[in-house]
Structure 1
């Protein structure tokens, strides 16, 4: 396993993040336990979840599954860099969502209870809260750090100027602020190259891409399409048709390189200097094993240039639209 630091922090994390959103939604508890054990066996030490995840088990269900896995002992908690998130409404009652000081306190304690742990390594804001001032947010996080309940703060789905604003407010308070940002980033979705990536790099914020295969479009979808037993949603079919020509050429390039399409997509992210670790969200053990293969894929300059030609990116802002 390869490891790196999470942003400018001293925390060492694996180059892949185990995403747990499917646990309790698509993956039964026993299988979720097996996947987490296998992830540890492979050296993955960075697990990501959120208080809203749970699917049919309801909000909080995924954290509860992880908590019961930790409760088995065997060093499971000690070996895990644990990341969770807050923001989404956990009920229809006021102050049961977003980033008020009250909700940060309540949501954190509830997550700790479900996760059966005394602290969270990376506590992330799942979305920007436009109605709560940063001084209030950081004051609540400072209290949580002082109490030993969290170690680091991160964000998710922020814009570049959100990162800049958050960090400036943290600096005024002599607080560390954000060490990571989770964003949609893959070969088909490169918008964050405009402003978010430059802002993250300038502020020492590590990037954790989610949906690295763009909902499966970069995972060999045309090969799977030939399997008549595979069903795709209407939305997925529409997105595939919009990109079919690109995907055809992409899968041909992956064949030429001698790798599975999904391995190439993950490997491309691992070659991007701003990226700390992409999130893989396996539903099955086979999907976990597939994700791990990308760590061994090396893309040379020619392969990277051909991928950029297929999926054009952006020059960093403001250079992309100013002179």
Structure 2
């Protein structure tokens, strides 16, 4: 396993992160534990979840499965644990968003489900346009002083949201945002316009989610031909068909390289200088193998150029405004 620092912090994290959105929704507790066992045995130390993942009448099963694994394994100290706050957790109006009330209550509920005393990275799952940053950062400061969280992160923020949030943190003499989770893969490159440049300028680590575009980049067309079940095959009409021509070229390139599409797609993300760790979403322990192979198979400049030709960046490429201006 390779390791790096998370953004401008001194926190060391693995170059791959284990995402647990499938825990509770797609797989049960035993398989979730098997995935955690395999990930930690492989040296992966960054585990990401959210209060809403696998929620069951407001109670997040994903967090509960991680909590039962901590209790069984005794390996809490080996994990950099990230969870999220924002999504509605009940029908009550104050059980959502980024008010100080909900941030603190959500953190305490997550700690109970996770069976831990602290969360390493407490991430805002979405921007809250109705709550002032002074209120948000005061709530985060309270949780940090209480020892319940170590760092604050974000997910699904625009570049200007990152800048505004960080400026407010600076005014309050706080470290501010240390990580941003954004959707980023070969088929979805919008983050290159402003999110990645903002994160790089502010010292924020980028943790791309959906690195395989819901399975479309995992060899979906080959799986269709071979009759192999999978998420991309099940949802081919909206996830694969709009990109069929590019995916066909991609799978042929991977075949010429002698590499699996999953491995190449992850290796491409690892080649991006702004990326700290792609967030994987396995549904079995075995599905960790191909992403991990990307660490041992970096892409050549020739391959990176070929991928840009198959999956062109937006506009002229690069950050805004150069992507569309001179």
Q: 2: distance between equivalents of 1:238 and 1:36?
A: 31
Match for residue 168 of structure 2? 169
The alignment's C-alpha RMSD in Å is 1.4
Provide the secondary structure at the position in 1 that maps to 2:78. Answer: coil
Q: Which runs of no fewer than 5 residues in structure 1 stay unpaired?
A: none
Q: Please give the TM-score of this superposition, normalised by the length of structure 1.
A: 0.96
- Offset, 1:321: 2.5
Asked if structure 2 preserves the Cα contact closer than 8 Å seen for 1:24 and 1:57, the reply is no
Alignment correspondent of 1:54: 54
Give runs of aligned pairs for residues 173-322 of structure 1, distance below 5 A.
173-228=172-227, 230=229, 235-313=235-313, 314-322=317-325
Matches of 1:233 and 1:91 in 2, distance apart?
33
1:70 paired with 2:70, answer yes
1:15-94 aligned at under 5 Å gives the runs 15-54=15-54, 59-74=59-74, 76-94=75-93
**Secondary structure of residue in 2 paired with 1:135:** helix
The alignment partner of 2:76 has SS state of: coil
Distance 1:309 1:172 in 2: 43
SS at match of 2:182: strand
Distance 2:86 2:121 in 1: 14
2:224–2:233 contact (8 Å) kept in structure 1: no
Q: Which segment drifts farther, 104-113 or 232-241? A: 232-241
User: Closer, same or farther in 2 for the Cα pair 1:164/1:284, shift >3 Å?
Assistant: same
Q: Is the 8 A contact 2:82 2:120 kept in 1?
A: yes
Q: Deviations over 1:83-121 (max 9, x none)?
A: 000100000012101100000110000000110101000
Q: In structure 2, do the counterparts of structure 1 residues 235 and 32 end up closer, same or farther at CA, with 3 Å as the change threshold?
A: closer
- Matches of 2:241 and 2:54, distance apart in 1: 31
Give the distance between the partners of 2:304 and 2:191, measured in 1 at CA.
Answer: 18
Residue 57 of structure 1: how far off its partner (Å): 7.8
Specify every segment of 5 or more residues in structure 2 that has no aligned partner in the other structure, as ranges. none
The within-5 A match list for 1:7-18 is 7-18=7-18
Aligned residues: 322
